[in-house]
Amino acid sequence: MTRVALEDVKAHGNLPVPLHLRNAPTGLMRTLGYGRDYKYSHDYTEHFVEQQYLPDQLKGRRYYEPSDQGHEAQVKERQAKRRKANPA
């Protein structure tokens, strides 16, 4: 997965963080849309909410795939259930 991430950095460079993920400590930033429509994961069941975390150019990319070993097996199972319930 690291190779894929490095290839994306080379191809796209330094992309901006989506506006809804940006902190808005000033009125101007709030006016510009920083933090608007952000969904706080801990407010949702199992502390998970469907939300875009990557810039539009990288939407749908995956940089982490859990293995079948140890705790990662449980993470993998939860991811599979979420993807089945919310196909992108």
Could you report the per-residue pLDDT of 17-33, keeping only the tens digit for each? 999 999 999 999 999 99
For the chain, how many residues are written?
Answer: 88
CA 9 to chain centre: 16
3-state secondary structure of 48: coil
CA dist., res. 58 & res. 53, Å (int) = 9
Q: How confident is the model at residue 1 (pLDDT cuts 50, 70, 90)?
A: low
Q: What is the pTM of this model?
A: 0.76
Residues 53, 21: contact at Cβ < 8 Å? yes
